[in-house]
Chains A and B, each alone.
Chain A
Amino acid sequence: AAGVIQSPRHLIKEKRETATLKCYPIPRHDTVYWYQQGPGQDPQFLISFYEKMQSDKGSIPDRFSAQQFSDYHSELNMSSLELGDSALYFCASSLDLGPFSGNTIYFGEGSWLTVV
């Protein structure tokens, strides 16, 4: 079965540079989530989109932005990178089955960002 696809899997950027991560959700999933996981940490929710509109916002820095496109893929843009942005960035997707359902969120393999 198709899974959540993320690219690139690894990237190295210098401080103050910009990085863009891409995410392709599972086909027919309508919700995309972005998470950041620092070394030895639990995943922290950044932002999510439902049907191409922002649905929830977590601890996403102002230097970061994201959007979901008409084909449901999503991109996370990170500018003015700092050393502390080095982390594993996960994209995840789900299909909204309604407010009382147990939607399952599936994660991609993650994109490793190293800021030097």
Chain B
Amino acid sequence: GNSVTQMEGPVTLSEEAFLTINCTYTATGYPSLFWYVQYPGEGLQLLLKATKADDKGSNKGFEATYRKETTSFHLEKGSVQVSDSAVYFCALSDRGNTPLVFGKGTRLSVIA
């Protein structure tokens, strides 16, 4: 079945450091890939998405590129801020309106 594997956290970085959160997936066909973010005590917010190979999703300084050859969708940000502290979930949906399959989540803490 479909699955998503994320690097385990927690990840602790200093402000303005470079962030990478690795995500790889297993899926049949051509899934759409997503990153969701969950701030403390809040719901899930869509951060970015990519729907086909080589697409790059970007939002709020975060980027991720859909790499079919390595089945990866790593999340990156060049300079993190304290306000980026949250749990980040990588997810996929393999067709149309099928439910999302989530990774285990990676907790990011950014310290000033």
Contacts and interface: CB of A to CB of B under 8 A. Distances in A.
Nearest to B96: A99
B61 interface: no
Most chain A C-beta atoms within 10 Å of own C-beta, residue among B49, B96, B105: B96
Interface string A60-95: 000000000000000000000000000000101011
A94 B97 CA distance: 7
Nearest to A98: B96
B32 interface: yes
Interface residues of B, number: 26
B99 A56 contact: yes
Contacts of B105: 41-42
Interface residues of A, number: 31
A43 B89 contact: yes
A106 B76 CA distance: 22
Interface string B30-64: 10101010000011111001111000000000000
Interface of A is mostly: loop
B88 to A, nearest CB: 11
Contacts of B49: 102, 104
Nearest to B42: A109
22 contacts: A30-B97, A42-B104, A43-B44, A43-B89, A55-B97, A56-B99, A90-B44, A92-B100, A94-B97, A100-B95, A101-B51, A102-B49, A102-B51, A103-B96, A104-B34, A104-B46, A104-B49, A105-B46, A107-B36, A107-B45, A109-B42, A110-B43
Interface of B: 30, 32, 34, 36, 42-46, 49-52, 89, 93, 95-105
